[in-house]
Amino acid sequence: MFLSGCSTSPTIQTTSVPDTPTQLSTQIAVDTAVAPPTASVTLSPSVTPAPARPSALATLTPSPVPSVTPSPAPSVTPSPSHTPYATIDATAHPPGTAVPTPISLFAKPDHVTNIILLGNDVTTPQGGRTDSLILVSIDRENKTATMLSLPRDLYVVIPGWRMTRINLALPHGHGSDYPGAGGGLIKDTIAYNLGIPVDYYARIGFDGFKTAVDIVGGIDMVVNCPLTDWRLISPELDPEVEENWELFTLEPGVQPMDGDLALWFARSRRTTNDFERGLRQQRVLQAIFRKGLALEMLPQLPNLWNAYRQHVETDIPLPVMLELAALAPAVEANGVRHLTLPYAAFKSWRDPAGGSVQLLQWAEAEPTLRRLMEPSALNRAVRPSLTAEVVTADYIMYRQMADNLAWYGFTPVYVAAAETPARTTIEYFGPNLKGADANLLSWLFHRRPEDIIQSPSTGATDYRVTLGYDADPCLPFLQSPGGEP
């Protein structure tokens, strides 16, 4: 669990760096191909109440012989804004696999708005697979926000169609007569498989993503681990020409990014997995959010929306968007909570077609999914922030460490130092050292909880971290002890 340095976290689905750009282009072609339906789909409403939890996906096993008796078609209690789930054609899901039943929806307070953010590179809504999926839950009463990334290879039931990857829901919905088209289908797919009711969706193409970054004048991205992947030497070059590619490494530090580099950083997956990429995507979105606030661009939102409309597909009405935008400064002040489904929540599997997918392990995933629907403890009105002084002579290193601290809800404070000691030390000022806070903070600085020095309270700060030459901001975030301070 606790690894020092920039150790690579256990791989669930890691793709190695291709030897040549030609291999990269071939892989891109494979990734973007949409498999045709295996059978026709019969759409019929279902009225059977939903059970409390789904069947265990871990029991799915491919079989060369179809089941003699087809599994019963799943059903669910519909959310108020959607029609009932359509029945899955018994011949349209892989033979030998049981169709999981839908789970009951988590209770969603009226003051919570859930949005699924989708990213892909398509010229038509029916084409291409969704490249990224991020759930954003906005608590309008407590003025907090929570983000949760979903792996694009999550193997799910797509209502009215079949069992396949979640990243096919949007394009299939756009190419069928499903109520609400692609947006309705991705929302119902998330509700069916995860129990999360989703109010709105927003899809942005890669050109639109680059435009979003460029409109705010670029972003300064804190990079804590080196990242290597193939990249076009210049964005206007033909990606089909092998000589136009280079193996590019982004070094740790505070890196200024235009839209093209930010997109590369968010999409790169050759030396990392989809789960680590999801965390980078959350960081990029938050950097855009912060830059827009710094530039006081919220009053310009109606005009900016006109510029974005050619790149963004969404069912969020402008009045709702303006209401949520008005909450943005308070949400930023309270902090954005970032949730990560643990490794144990997924099981790697080969589907009947031979593709590598992820099966959701409900018992391990449910606690995190439930937290998405619960109030965040980050609200400063509920819990005063834990402050951590970071003493260092290296301001760039402070920015990197501060980014990690803020990610987990600590408030970092910079204190300049004249010199750098050999080892990093952590002091706690107070009578009672809380176990969860100590575990998290010590992990952030590659230390053990017992290494924390308890000192008399000064009333000014909760922790003081003095960075030594051994300081390293690169962390296996998916192996964190978790929790919120």
- pLDDT tens, 302-333? 777 766 677 788 999 988 988 998 899 999 88
The pLDDT of residue 208: 82
- pLDDT band, very low/low/confident/very high, at 252 (cuts 50, 70, 90): very high
Report DSSP letters for 41-86, one per residue: ----B--PPP-SSPPPGGG----SS--SSPPPPP--PPPTTSPPPB
- pLDDT tens, 402-438? 999 988 888 999 999 999 999 999 999 987 776 668 8
| Complete domains list, the chain, with CATH | 11-381 (3.40.630.190), 387-479 (3.30.70)
If one counts every other C-beta atom within 10 angstroms of the C-beta of residue 66, the result is 12
- pLDDT tens, 121-134? 655 555 567 888 99
In this prediction the pTM is 0.76
Report yes or no: 265 and 252 within 8 Å, Cβ to Cβ.
no
Provide, for the chain, the percentages of residues in helix, strand and coil under a 3-state DSSP scheme, each rounded to the nearest 5.
Answer: 30, 20, 45
- pLDDT band, very low/low/confident/very high, at 47 (cuts 50, 70, 90): very low
Distance from CA of residue 112 to its chain's centroid? Answer: 19
What sign does the dihedral 394-400-405-406 (CA atoms) show? positive
Measured in residues, the chain has a length of: 485
| 478 DSSP assignment | G
Q: Degrees (nearest 5) of the Cα angle 255, 258, 261?
A: 70
Burial class (CB in 10 A: 0-12, 13-18, 19+), 460: exposed
Q: What is the mean pLDDT of residues 433-452?
A: 86
- pLDDT band, very low/low/confident/very high, at 248 (cuts 50, 70, 90): very high
The amino acid at residue 472 is D
Report yes or no: 388 and 441 within 8 Å, Cβ to Cβ.
yes
If phi > 0 it is left, if psi is from -120 to 50 it is alpha, else beta; for residue 409 that is: left
Query: Closest Cα to residue 168, out of 120, 204, 216?
Result: 120
Q: What is the mean pLDDT of residues 44-52?
A: 33
H or E element in which residue 215 lies: helix 206-215
Alpha-carbon distance of 368 to 348, in angstroms, equals: 19
Whether 107 shows a pLDDT value over 70: the answer reads yes
The pLDDT of residue 249: 95
Report yes or no: 191 and 225 within 8 Å, Cβ to Cβ.
no
Query: Closest Cα to residue 61, out of 150, 155, 153, 151?
Result: 155
